Amino acid sequence: MRAFAHLLDRLSLTSSRNAKLTLIEDFLRQTPDPERGWVLAALTGALSFNAAKPAFIRKAVEARMDVQLFAWSYDYVGDLAETVALVWPARPGANREPDLSEVVESLRTATRAEVQRLIEGWLDALDPDGRWALLKLMTGGLRVGVSARLAKQACANLGGVEIGAVEEVWHAMAPPYGDLFAWLEGRSERPSPDAPGRFRPVMLAQAVDEAVDFARLDPADYAAEWKWDGIRVQAVSERGERRLYTRTGDDISATFPDVIAAMDFEGAIDGELLVLQGGAAASFGDLQQRLNRKAVDAKLMAAFPAGIRAYDLLLEGEEDLRALPFAERRRRLEAFVARIDDPRIDLSPIQPFATWDDLAALRAAPPAGEPRIAEGLMLKRWDSVYEPGRPKGPWFKWKRDPHLIDAVLMYAQRGHGKRSSFYSDYTFGVWQEDETGTRRLTPVGKAYFGFTDEELKQIDKFVRDHTVERFGPVRSVRADLDFGLVFEVAFEGLQRSTRHKSGVAMRFPRISRIRWDKPAREADELATLERMLEP
């Protein structure tokens, strides 16, 4: 449990992806079975207990120490699991420290009444770090910034194999993954990926390079369709197993029972998960209401009904279609979707075009309705097979040009990892008249990339030279009508937001240019942004 706790601690404070991979890979290499398998399950979200309610933990600790001292402690730390882990009175020699496997095994067979006694016994036996890990696990939610994909990549690194190879077998495996490790360490054959409902590694597109690609590509070779603004999913219904996966293979079936219910077919569809209101795609903001929820809320599900807009067909009945050309898969997909005949699963229409100029015109001015909120266009070679990864050539994405505004830097925050000595996260604002007619800056967004290392150094120096106030890692920077640093900010879309003072929230904002030349007073007004709001 200590080594597990140490791993969680390091992961939660490390921002670099490579460093996280090293930490996980080393842990998996150095820890025996089945312990490492349970840890992998915990990291990938395959292990979740709701064994201990916060109220129970609180009661247990208050029975052991002064209530007032506990209250002050909780007040100071702010996190219940961490507070209890730290203040829990030590009972030296109370018990042997349990490892994660022991915890998992015991909870599996324990009755409800026994669970609480077990947890208290473990808390007595563990040190503060071990208690913290245990409590985080028991109350459900590690939140250490590790995606299932990252954990799988660490497994792939451990075995020296491609991540696709791990993803293909992943859903045939169950914790504590003894077969998986045996294969990765060369002690046995690769496990069969042939489990019903498994994930198929996804094919992704390259960004089109307008200057180069259109000159050499023949429009007749390509199909075009809208790039819908939801999340890419794979819907698999196979021999009674129904699963909905993200493009990285995370299983999100439990969050979308309405979609699962609609998957009345035998096959695997590649598509976009969207909120569909009366057959029309709604904004990404609507879909966000449904994402990352553990419990499904019936009211929310009725207000934001989700569905799939189909792009491709990977499996029909028992037939794997991935080696067929896109044109053939598309023909089969159209018939397949028509047979399902459910408004929650529809077809992403192909956009006919003759020349690249035609397509450019379509992208610049999409027709009224849902294409207006598409992210751009997708180009797919009619003869392309379905190839996992991001091969160069068969598929391109051609996003719409971003929106641009000029905003003034207001606050800067220190970065993490390599950037911890730089002020690299910027909050910027635009002008707004207050009730007295005075123009004031109101923050509209935050961005931390889009600039070069050299530009970062210059902005960092500007921040340090023009700091007005400091709050921990954040500095407020001089920004008024007569002085300030103007950023040209690019973003993909704008939505109304009640959480932001300005009333708007940007999608995917980044710094596109630094306008050292532009006077702060000439930056944009909030009214300009409000005109860009999505319908």
Burial class (CB in 10 A: 0-12, 13-18, 19+), 488: middle
Q: Are strands 439-447 and 222-227 parallel, antiparallel or unpaired?
A: unpaired
Between 77 and 217, whose beta carbon lies closer to other proteins?
77
Site track 82-121 with other proteins (rule: CB under 8 A), x = hit: xx--xx--x-------------------------------
Return the number of the residue (8 or 314) whose C-beta is nearest other proteins. 8
Instruction: Give me the least distance between CB of 147 and other proteins, in Å please.
Output: 19
DSSP code, position 89: P
- Using the rule CB under 8 A, give the single segment among 16-24, 91-99, 194-202, 211-219 that binds other proteins: 16-24
| Binds other proteins (CB under 8 A): choice among 69, 254, 303, 532 | 69
Q: Is 414 in the site for other proteins (CB under 8 A)?
A: yes
Distance CA(395)–CA(382), nearest Å, equals 10
Handedness of CA 500, 503, 506, 510 (dihedral sign): negative
Q: Does 476 bind other proteins (CB under 8 A)?
A: no
Q: Which is nearer to other proteins, 15 or 528 (CB)?
A: 15
Binding mask 450-469 for other proteins (x = CB under 8 A): ----------x---------
Cβ-Cβ contacts under 8 Å for 114 (sequence gap 6 or more): none
What's 22-58 look like in SS3? HHHHHHHHHCCCCHHHHHHHHHCCCCCCCCCCHHHHH
Among 53, 79, 331, 522, binds other proteins (CB under 8 A): 79
Residue the block writes with tokens 């944009």? 524
Q: Which of residues 49-68 bind other proteins (CB under 8 A)?
A: 65-66, 68
Q: 338 by DSSP, 3-state: which?
A: helix
Smaller CB separation from other proteins, 85 or 273: 85
Give Rg (Cα) of the chain: 26
Options 473, 508, 519, 533; binder of other proteins; rule CB under 8 A: 473
Using CB under 8 A, count the residues that bind other proteins: 41
Q: Which of 33, 56, 73, 358 binds other proteins (CB under 8 A)?
A: 73
Find the shortest distance in angstroms from Cβ 432 to other proteins: 31
Considering only residues 416 to 455 of the shown chain, the ones binding other proteins according to CB under 8 A are: 416-418, 420-421
**Residue 507 neighbours by CB under 8 Å, 6+ apart:** 284, 491, 492, 493, 494, 495
Please answer whether residues 176 and 88 qualify as being in contact, where contact means their C-beta atoms are separated by less than 8 angstroms: no
Q: With left for phi above 0 and alpha for psi between -120 and 50, is residue 343 left, alpha or beta?
A: alpha
415 binds other proteins (CB under 8 A): yes
CB-nearer residue toward other proteins: 139 or 255:
139
**What SS3 class is residue 430?**
strand
Measured between alpha carbons, how far is 311 from 49 in angstroms, rounded to an integer? 36
**From candidates 45, 128, 193, 196, binder to other proteins by CB under 8 A:** 128
Whole-number minimum distance, CB 73 to other proteins, in Å?
Answer: 5
The closest alpha carbon to 125, from 97, 105, 150, 160, belongs to: 97
Tell me which residues in 353-382 interact with other proteins (CB under 8 A). none
Site for other proteins, rule CB under 8 A: 6, 9-10, 12-16, 19, 22-23, 26, 65-66, 68-70, 72-73, 76-79, 82-83, 86-87, 90, 127-129, 414-418, 420-421, 460, 472-473
